[in-house]
């Protein structure tokens, strides 16, 4: 069964067609994109974990035109395999520790509460809470000064639109401009932090060493931009999509209000039910058998994360939103070697923001139909208007 990833009806609700694709075969050939599609949970797990399927960056051509975009990707961990991936992730992870993320908890809670207190009886969750919260958190972590933070979201949004199946020429031009401006800004910030270190991630990335090893200037810029893009893009989309799902299931909202101990499970269910990332592409370094299908060396396989997260072979009543779901082995953060480095931060933000919303208003309702992004790979909304009542 062919799937049109750009069809507005599919983008609006991809799950019925993804279910039919999964039922047809866990792995199938998709002629329009020239890729294999993995839709079953076991097949997606295999794609994400099999070391013969990797990320092997190839510069977009013509390379001279796409150099600003290419530079950010050829030097980042997500587009490389060991030993390059191992080296980059090791150096970045030492500066991006779980303990440091957990220490951000009180500050994230205070920021979420402060943002909500400025909202009126009706407000846009994304513009007034989710976006400024996510940008503030990742900017604080990296050390981007408050006066510059308004530039981050537009740069990030322009770059990540290149990850869709068929980006337009206008999308590509905007991404190239954003890539260049973002890189120039990070180079300047890194130089300032090298001269005057502070307690932030860029300062630690500038200083971090492994024996005689350290991040090159290009690697530092690419790593910082990856963390900025992934760190707030996914958080915004996860909160928007997760809260829409919660409000559309009032019985589950009431259940969560009655038992805050369900909050960790509820936020995992938000990521499973409507994940912010739906596709992750790998390339076969050798012939690989997946679910009885041989993927030849050099071929691409797209792991469809949203399809895997609704697989009835793994999840009971997979189309049901259940804030107490346990176990919940979703693949919303990936799996294997490329498991999301920022998952602890994303989980912290989502739990904290949902808790703040529940504390802020006794009743929250959708004030209008949420406005959906016209994209599949990065799934989310552009506006989620809420009404709060005492």
Active site residues: 230, 233, 235, 340, 349
Phi, psi of 372 (to 5 degrees): -90, 145
d(CA 66, CA 176): 7
Burial (CB count <10 Å: 0-12, 13-18, 19+), residue 25:
middle
125: three-class secondary structure by DSSP: helix
196 alpha-carbon distance from chain centroid = 31
d(CA 290, CA 324): 32
d(CA 309, CA 293): 21
How far is residue 100 from each of residues 78, 94, 243, 306, 384, measured CA to CA in Å?
A: 22, 10, 27, 30, 31
- Between vectors from CA 196 to CA 193 and to CA 201, what angle results, nearest 5°? 35
245 CB-near residues (< 8 Å, 6+ apart): 270, 273, 274, 321
d(CA 72, CA 321): 37
- 213's tokens: 């090893």
299 C-beta neighbours (distance < 10 Å), count: 17
- 334's tokens: 């990936």
Which residue bears the tokens 């492994």?
210
| Backbone torsion region of residue 57, taken as left when φ is above 0, otherwise alpha when ψ lies between -120 and 50, otherwise beta | beta
d(CA 221, CA 201): 12
- Between vectors from CA 383 to CA 377 and to CA 387, what angle results, nearest 5°? 140
Closest to 378 measured CA to CA, from 148, 131, 163: 163
170 C-beta neighbours (distance < 10 Å), count: 9
């Amino acid at each position: 069964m062919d799937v049109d990833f750009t069809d507005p009806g599919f983008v609006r609700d991809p799950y019925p067609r993804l279910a039919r694709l999964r039922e047809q075969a866990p792995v199938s050939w998709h002629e329009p994109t020239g890729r294999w599609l993995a839709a079953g949970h076991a097949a997606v797990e295999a794609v994400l974990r099999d070391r013969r399927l990797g990320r092997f960056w190839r510069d977009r051509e013509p390379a001279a035109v796409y150099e600003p975009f290419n530079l950010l990707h050829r030097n980042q961990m997500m587009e490389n395999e060991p030993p390059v991936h191992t080296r980059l992730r090791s150096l970045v992870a030492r500066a991006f520790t779980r303990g440091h993320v957990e220490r951000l908890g009180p500050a994230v809670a205070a920021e979420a509460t402060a943002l909500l207190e400025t909202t009126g009886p009706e407000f846009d969750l994304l513009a007034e809470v989710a976006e400024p919260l996510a940008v503030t958190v990742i900017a604080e972590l990296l050390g981007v000064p408050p006066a510059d933070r308004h530039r981050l979201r537009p740069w990030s949004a322009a770059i990540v639109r290149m990850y869709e199946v068929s980006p337009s020429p206008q999308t590509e031009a905007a991404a190239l401009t954003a890539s260049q401006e973002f890189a120039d800004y990070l180079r300047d910030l890194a130089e300032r932090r090298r001269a005057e270190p502070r307690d932030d991630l860029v300062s630690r990335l500038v200083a971090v060493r492994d024996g005689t090893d350290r991040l090159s200037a290009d690697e530092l810029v690419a790593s910082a931009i990856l963390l900025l893009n992934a760190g707030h893009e996914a958080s915004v989309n996860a909160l928007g999509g997760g809260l829409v799902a919660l409000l559309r299931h009032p019985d589950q909202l009431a259940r969560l209000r009655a038992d805050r101990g369900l909050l960790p499970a509820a936020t995992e269910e938000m990521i499973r039910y409507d994940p912010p990332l739906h596709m992750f592409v790998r390339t076969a370094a050798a012939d690989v058998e997946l679910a009885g299908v041989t993927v030849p060396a050099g071929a691409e396989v797209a792991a469809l994360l949203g399809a895997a997260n609704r697989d009835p072979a793994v999840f009971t009543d997979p189309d049901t939103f259940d804030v107490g779901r346990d176990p919940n082995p979703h693949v919303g953060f990936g799996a294997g070697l490329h498991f999301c480095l920022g998952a602890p931060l994303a989980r912290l933000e989502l739990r904290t923001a949902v808790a703040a919303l529940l504390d802020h208003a006794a009743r929250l309702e959708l004030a209008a139909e949420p406005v959906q992004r016209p994209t599949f790979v990065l799934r989310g909304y552009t506006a989620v208007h809420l009404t709060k009542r005492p």
